[in-house]
Amino acid sequence: MTDSVLRVENLKVSFSGKDGKLTAVNGISYRLMAGEILAMVGESGCGKTVGALSLLRLIPEPPGKIETGSVTFNCKDLLKINPQELREVRGRDIAMIFQDPMTSLNPVLTLGNQIMEPLLRHTSLTHKEAWEKAVEILRQVEIPSPVEKMTQYPHQLSGGMRQRVMIGMALTCSPKILIADEPTTALDVLIQAQIIDLLQHLKEQTGMSILLITHDLGMVTEIAQRVIVMYAGEIVESGPARELFHTPLHPYTLGLKNSVPKLGQKKETNKRLVEIPGNVPSLNQLPSGCAFHPRCPSVMERCKIDKPVLREVGHGREVSCWLEGNPS
Amino acid sequence: MTSPSSNPNLLEVKQLKKYFSVGGSFLKKSKLNVRAVDGISFTLKEGETLGLVGESGCGKSTAARAILRLVEPTSGEVLYRGKNLAALSQKEMQPLRQEMQIIFQDPSASLNPSRRIGSILEEPFKIHNIAGKTERKERVIQLLKQVGLDPEHARRFPHEFSGGQLQRIGIARAIALSPRLIVADEPVSSLDVSIRAQVINLMQDLKETMNISYLFISHDMAIVEHFCDRVAVMYLGKIVEMATSEKLYTDPRHPYTEALLSVIPRMESGAGERSERSLKLASPRGGRLLIKGDIPSPANPPSGCAFHPRCPIKEKKCETTVPELKEIAPGHFVACLLR
């Protein structure tokens, strides 16, 4: 568990538009350990998806631009290697699944063709062997009557089944890392549970690492070992999932935790939910000092001027806040 | 909290059905019906909040629209303060519409992008011919303040607002005419976590100050428990369980309700460790009750109990006999042959 498979250093990504340059991801650093599920949590616009797409240089350039940083995988910097080498990594060593399985599957190709594509691209399997492997993969992601499904098209499947196919496709070449960008957001609750269960099951079987991007805190506490909380393009807190949600160190994490109603506590707590006031700031008018200060309940004078830096506080935890001790 | 259980009925829905015909053409009448809402009955008391939960395609949104007659129900009665809405003409409906409003899931899709907020909020007063021009403007400012926005926002267009603010505008429009009933169709599911609590709190405040009854449609079980007095669980067009939220969450009787409750993640539990919920049913992996398969198509529902192909405790009779919704304890209704 101590080896890191992916090391991200000081990643900074910006987009240029008519309002000038906007920094979507502002210098984030983290490590993904072997065999762990690392969750990246945040609200819309906090830069979590852009950060993940940049790892494989999947953001459109221009308008996007990776300003600084390095992404080290297998002793190579993914941000520097040539497109040929990058293509070898994509899909084989590092695979990705997206939020909406309908728009990420090709509607005019059969499922069989789509699953076989990475196999034919990255391995030396013959067409027949690839076919058999594809059927086996469908079976692995628990799709009923897989042989039949090989000749079907995406529209013939339900949302949950499509997401299973996506996961299957991502796993074809036994990747070391799976990047899952909001894999259950578009699905119904019961189907969400199925997919989470499947991901966890597959992780245990294959030993791969998963970078899970989500806004669903509940899902995070269920399956992630470590969590990174992002706000306005920066990491505000990180640490082991359990401790992080048990005793949040950053007021934003605490706010997120409290704003979700807890089951079975209706009678004990008062009727109002604890809210985080205000809105997520837009990137072209970020507040001075700490980006969270206008919404922070424990704001101090210093927060309005000085920007806090991410500091280690022991037990594998980091926080970026001027507050000493726990927020209330 | 005052118990609304003794209040008079505001809304009484009896055997409401809404079928959509599919697959027909201009000349050929279709034979296939999608039973989106298939005979649901419930009551909503004054000042009460009833949650309607279920997965997508279970008919909860169609039920809401059929109740407000935004779609014409196929059959059944909707009694609003004793008046059967289904029997009224659209003209007779018009004055009643002031008293019943709806909040939609996606606020950006339900506000006209080319009109200013002020003009959107003035619309209800114009339609119902209430108040003169200057008074309308004042009412709009008052509304904006009431939902926590700034009076100067009246001059802006919808695209200048964030999702949470747009939903506040949607709520302002719904409360403009002081309604008694608001149907809220997934009002917070498109919002960010930190904004959801704000909107729920706002709806709660309005309920108390304006004595509004809500029919609250959602798939988020945790928010429903927090916000609703009673809950009805829908599956494939039918209500499968209905009880006070306290009862339903502590003692669910239908296997479908149990499954919905068991998959709610708890923040308190750590990774890989799920809280020890007193599940009556055994679950295959982990502490969760995993339901296999997808929700079936309402065009071709399974025979007998519609839930039987996914049910972990089904018996032979479930495949043939349709369970009725029966009262197993005072105020607790379940449609299951085995419970």
Strand pairing report for A234-240 and A226-231: antiparallel
A238 near A227, Cβ under 8 Å? Answer: yes
CB contact under 8 A, B263 and A256: no
B235 near B309, Cβ under 8 Å? Answer: no
B11 near B41, Cβ under 8 Å? Answer: no
In whole angstroms, give the CA distance from residue A63 to residue B312: 51
> Which candidate in A184, A259, A269, A296 is best for mutational testing of the B interface (most B CBs within 10 A)?
A259
φ, ψ (nearest 5 deg) of residue A269? -80, 165
- Which among B198, B261, B271 is the nearest to A221, CB-wise? B271
Model pLDDT, residue B288? 62
Model pLDDT, residue B30? 66
Model pLDDT, residue A266? 57
pLDDT at A30 over 70: yes
In whole angstroms, give the CA distance from residue A149 to residue A132: 13
Q: Does B193 touch chain A (CB under 8 A)?
A: yes
- Shortest Cα distance from B27 to chain A (angstroms)? 28
A291: its two tokens: 């980006």
- Which among A242, A246, A256 is the nearest to B194, CB-wise? A256
What residues have CB less than 8 Å from A135, skipping those under 6 apart?
Answer: A146, A147, A150
A110: its two tokens: 């059969």
Model pLDDT, residue A6? 92
Return the number of CB contacts < 8 Å for A and B.
133
φ, ψ (nearest 5 deg) of residue A65? -155, 130
Q: Does B282 touch chain A (CB under 8 A)?
A: no
Strand pairing report for A226-231 and A64-73: unpaired
In whole angstroms, give the CA distance from residue A103 to residue A162: 10
CB contact under 8 A, B201 and A275: yes
A85: its two tokens: 């080498």
CB contact under 8 A, B194 and A276: yes
A78 near A89, Cβ under 8 Å? Answer: yes
Tell which A residues from 192 to 221 touch B, by Cβ distance under 8 Å: 192-194, 197, 200-201, 215-219, 221
A18 near A36, Cβ under 8 Å? Answer: no
Other Cβ atoms closer than 10 A to A230: 23
> Which candidate in B53, B193, B278, B297 is best for mutational testing of the A interface (most A CBs within 10 A)?
B193
* pLDDT (tens place) for every residue of chain B, 339 residues total: 445 667 788 999 999 999 988 776 777 766 678 888 999 999 999 999 999 998 888 888 899 999 999 999 999 999 998 889 888 888 888 888 999 999 988 888 889 999 999 999 999 999 888 888 899 999 999 999 989 888 889 999 998 888 888 999 999 999 999 999 999 999 988 888 888 888 999 999 999 899 999 999 998 888 899 999 999 999 999 999 999 999 999 899 999 999 888 887 665 544 334 333 333 333 444 456 677 777 787 778 888 999 999 888 889 999 999 999 999 999 999 999 987
Q: Mean pLDDT across chain A, nearest whole number?
A: 86
Range in A115-124, A174-183, B265-274 with the lowest mean pLDDT: B265-274
pLDDT tens profile A240-290: 988 888 889 999 999 888 888 777 665 555 577 888 888 888 888 888 889
Of the two residues A187 and B326, the one the predictor is more confident about is B326
A241 near A70, Cβ under 8 Å? Answer: no
DSSP-assigned beta bridge partners for residue A7: A31, A72
pLDDT bucket at A122, cuts 50 / 70 / 90 = confident
Find, in chain A, the residue whose alpha carbon is nearest to that of B250: A264
- Shortest Cα distance from B225 to chain A (angstroms)? 7
DSSP-assigned beta bridge partners for residue B103: B184
Cis bond leading into B179, ω under 30°? no
CB contact under 8 A, B193 and A194: no
- Shortest Cα distance from A83 to chain B (angstroms)? 36
Strand pairing report for B32-45 and B9-22: antiparallel
Longest CA–CA span in chain A (Å) reads: 68
Q: What 3-state class would DSSP assign to B142?
A: helix
pLDDT tens profile A89-110: 888 899 998 887 778 888 899 9
- Structural domains in chain A? 4-93+179-189+207-319 (3.40.50.300)
Other Cβ atoms closer than 10 A to B167: 30
- Shortest Cα distance from A90 to chain B (angstroms)? 29
DSSP letter for B119, please: H
